[in-house]
Structure 1
Amino acid sequence: MLTLSTFAAWFGMIFMGVPVGFSLIFATVIFFSLTGWNVIYFVGATLVDSLDSFSLLSVPFFILTGILMNSSGITERIFRFAKSLLGHYIGGMGHVNIFASLIFSGMSGSALADAGGLGQLEIKAMKDEGYDDDICGGLTAASCIIGPLVPPSISMIIYGVIADQSIARLFLAGFIPGVILTIALMIMNYFICKKRGYRRAPKASNRERLIAFKESFWALLTPLIIIGGIFSGFFTPTEAAVIATCYSMALGFFVYKELTVQGFIRDVIEAIKVSGVTVLMIMGVTFFGQVIAREQISMKIAEVFLTFGKSPLLVLVMINLLLIFLGTFIEALALQVLVLPMLIPVIIQFGIDPVFFGVISTLNLMIGILTPPMGMALFVVSRVGNISVSTITKGVIPFLIPILITLIILIIFPNLVLFLPNLILGVAG
């Protein structure tokens, strides 16, 4: 009864508009106050311990890197380079949209940074070539979810901290699924654009491609530095995040000279705001995790799944359906830090690899940012592209098909996820 009252208090505070992190902390304080614990000492110790993670330190730096790239002219150069390669094909500007998101993913690892940074450029370019608003907004929203799959993914870092898994293994595990999703989105884009008869952009000459490559060369080095440095052992993911931030600053101030001191200060403040929300949620869910552990909620969830059978595949399908459902009305980060700690012990009990589950759950959560009413990507794209949310929702629906097909393929063939980490880092013990 006490547990139900705690969850009711948490949901009640959320519906009253209390931030998720604060609502989790308040609900947990209420729970332990009623159980007679020394709440004052317990709150302080638990909240401090929740942030005692070297890997978690990388999150604000990757967030700042993504923001700096948007204000340093890096995203524009990436887009021009992608356009010089793919713009002349059927559905060319859509392919450019997707490919640019893949490249940008290797720098920021954030879906909303992609949507907010590249989104305005992509939508304007597609509109200039005669694309309808629904396809412009829908594809821009859909392509941004590549970011959390491809390293360096902020979602993977948070999952690694929650599940106590190797960040490097998670980064490697997300690469092939990210490429598969990229190809799947391009195939759907090709058929939609061919059916609607959109015109192609003029084919870039070799000279134009060379100029675009030279302009974007230093920007294109960013993912190579980040990913190459991590997997060659030169630095950890956290150190890579700091290096990525410094490299973006160097490009903005000294190479492209589009970043000003005032702009840098503004970007830092924005990164602090976004990071603060993330840190608050992690603190809240770590504290709330004490309720989950004390009341053995994970064991009770496992018992519910056992009533449907002992098949890991069946359990995985049920968890996917649950996450897709919850993702429609709970923000992705809140869902990740609240629900996954309860599900991770369950999947381990059923013999499901935690690294594999990290990739699957991340893709699942990204479906949530594309579906109303919560769909954060829809609102970001609506703001930067000046397109109504209803129009974007209409446009994103066809692209949910390749996303769901990718999810199904990964569930059926888990080695697509685990191949690279097992090959490069060895099979986990």
Structure 2
Amino acid sequence: MGLTILIAVFVLGLVIGIPVAVTLGLSSLCYLLVMGLPPVVMPQKMYAGMDVFVLLSIPGFILAGNLMNRGGITERIIRFANSLVGWIRGGLGLTNVGASMLFGGITGTAVADAASIGGVMIPGMKKAGYPADFSAAVTAASSTVGPIIPPSVPMIIVGALSGISVGKMFLAGAIPGILMGFAMMITTYLIARRKRFPKQAWQGVGEIGRSFAGAFWAIAMTGIILYGLLSGIATPTETAVVASLYAMAVGVLIYRELPLRAIPGIVIDSAVSASGILILVGFANVFGWILVSERIPQAIAAAVLSFTDNKFVVIIIVNILLLFVGMFMETIAALIILFVPLLTLAQAVGIDPLHFATFAVLNLMIGLTTPPLGVCLFVCAGIARQPLTPVVRAIIPFIITNISILLLVSYVPALATWLPSIVLQ
């Protein structure tokens, strides 16, 4: 009875548009009341879910990204990417993807990428003669690279849930993220050639050098983050703090586009964003505890294993499930609720936990661009001032491309496990 109430309230909340965090909390509270459990269990489990040291890195990385963005990073990264690929047919589309790859390596969140890069690139592409729906589609699709290339907020969540090293998680996402970015560049180029999108004049090697010099301090932030983690001299939380201080120093002293009076507002905005994520983590932990107490992970594993114990079949089942869930549920909530049960299943058929974690995150990132609730899709359609339908049509080739990379990563474990194995032995 209690489980039925839990699922019914949760589904109803999603259908009528209640925020996911509130829906998780409300459905969990209904379960506790129906089962006669003391309501004090909810704050206890919420606190237990949030009281994980590595989660403190999330506010730090969000703050670092916001400081760098306000301090002039977006325009410099776009200029550098444009100097490299802007002269090719559809060059601004290629620049869009390249900028997302660079920018995502700083913020770690897809929505921040979509809003920041999209705010500059979408109007610029429209002005240069690109269709508005394509401009929004390529921005939304490329923004999903951010949480794959390190650092990555979803990877931090997975590390906290599973005990997998966050450093290993970051490295595991590097090759899939780069593959995803280059695959979208190829897709962009093919579409641009077919539709005769414009291209810019070659600006010369000098412009590459000048733009790289301008973007160097921004790009170097990714190196600092990875060095801190991989060298072992700093935890993810300490690395996030260093990244925030670095971002503030670069914005104030080097780029000189970050006024000191703006910093308190940026800190407050970052705190609000981070608190939203952590509240979601807390409520999702209560929901997940209920599922575990009802032995749902074991039931899922038993149901699938009764059908097949073939590792390759299980991978495709998991991919289909996560792609479907990603269409309707926020990424972090989906990870907290489903990751542990599905990891139990994956390990039962011999899938490496690091490999599984990588393609699970990649899967849910694709969900950010799929209707009906793809957040990045809505953000970019809003910036482009386009109805959702034409943007959905325009993004279909990119979704197909990203699913192709997902399948490649799913069935070639070395793409996720090779780099961590040689760097972190």
Report the CA distance between 1:66 and its aligned residue: 1.9
Opposite residue 381 of structure 2, the aligned amino acid is S
Query: For residue 344 of structure 1, what is the aligned residue in structure 2?
Result: 343
Asked if the contact 2:329/2:373 (under 8 Å) is kept, the reply is: yes
Query: For residue 25 of structure 1, what is the aligned residue in structure 2?
Result: 25
CA distance in 2, matches of 1:290, 1:214: 50
Query: For residue 277 of structure 1, what is the aligned residue in structure 2?
Result: 276
CA distance in 2, matches of 1:398, 1:23: 33
What SS does the corresponding residue of 1:307 show, helix, strand or coil? helix
Q: C-alpha offsets along residues 175-222 of structure 1, whole Å, 9 cap, x if unaligned?
A: 000111111111111111111112221111232222212222211211
Opposite residue 279 of structure 2, the aligned amino acid is L
Q: TM-score, normalised by structure 1?
A: 0.94
Opposite residue 202 of structure 1, the aligned amino acid is A
- Which stretches in structure 1 are left out of the alignment for 5+ residues? none
Query: For residue 169 of structure 2, what is the aligned residue in structure 1?
Result: 170
Asked if the contact 2:133/2:384 (under 8 Å) is kept, the reply is: no
Residue correspondence of structure 1 range 2-81 to structure 2 within 5 A: 2-40=2-40, 42-81=41-80
Q: Over aligned residue pairs, what C-alpha RMSD do you find?
A: 1.8
Report the CA distance between 1:47 and its aligned residue: 2.1
Q: C-alpha offsets along residues 293-320 of structure 1, whole Å, 9 cap, x if unaligned?
A: 2211111111210232111211111111
Residue correspondence of structure 1 range 332-411 to structure 2 within 5 A: 332-411=331-410
Query: For residue 233 of structure 1, what is the aligned residue in structure 2?
Result: 232
Asked if the contact 1:133/1:391 (under 8 Å) is kept, the reply is: no
Asked if the contact 1:328/1:375 (under 8 Å) is kept, the reply is: yes
Opposite residue 115 of structure 1, the aligned amino acid is A
Q: TM-score, normalised by structure 2?
A: 0.95
- The yes-or-no answer on 1:321 pairing with 2:324 is no
Query: For residue 151 of structure 2, what is the aligned residue in structure 1?
Result: 152
- The yes-or-no answer on 1:100 pairing with 2:109 is no
CA distance in 1, matches of 2:20, 2:216: 41
Query: For residue 132 of structure 2, what is the aligned residue in structure 1?
Result: 133
Report the CA distance between 1:246 and its aligned residue: 1.2
Opposite residue 385 of structure 1, the aligned amino acid is A
Asked if the contact 1:66/1:108 (under 8 Å) is kept, the reply is: yes
CA distance in 1, matches of 2:335, 2:247: 28
| Change over 3 Å in CA distance of 1:296–1:149 after alignment to 2 | same
Number of residue pairs matched by the alignment = 425
Query: For residue 413 of structure 2, what is the aligned residue in structure 1?
Result: 414
Q: Which segment is superposed worse, 234-243 or 3-12?
A: 3-12
Asked if the contact 2:281/2:332 (under 8 Å) is kept, the reply is: no
What SS does the corresponding residue of 1:116 show, helix, strand or coil? helix
Asked if the contact 2:132/2:384 (under 8 Å) is kept, the reply is: no
CA distance in 2, matches of 1:31, 1:77: 51
Opposite residue 217 of structure 2, the aligned amino acid is W
Asked if the contact 1:58/1:241 (under 8 Å) is kept, the reply is: yes
| Change over 3 Å in CA distance of 1:2–1:423 after alignment to 2 | same
CA distance in 2, matches of 1:91, 1:228: 35
What SS does the corresponding residue of 1:370 show, helix, strand or coil? coil
Report the CA distance between 1:56 and its aligned residue: 0.4
Query: For residue 256 of structure 2, what is the aligned residue in structure 1?
Result: 257
CA distance in 2, matches of 1:39, 1:389: 41
Report the CA distance between 1:34 and its aligned residue: 3.9
Query: For residue 290 of structure 2, what is the aligned residue in structure 1?
Result: 291
- Which stretches in structure 2 are left out of the alignment for 5+ residues? none
Asked if the contact 1:156/1:362 (under 8 Å) is kept, the reply is: yes
Q: Which segment is superposed worse, 332-341 or 362-371?
A: 332-341
Asked if the contact 1:137/1:391 (under 8 Å) is kept, the reply is: no
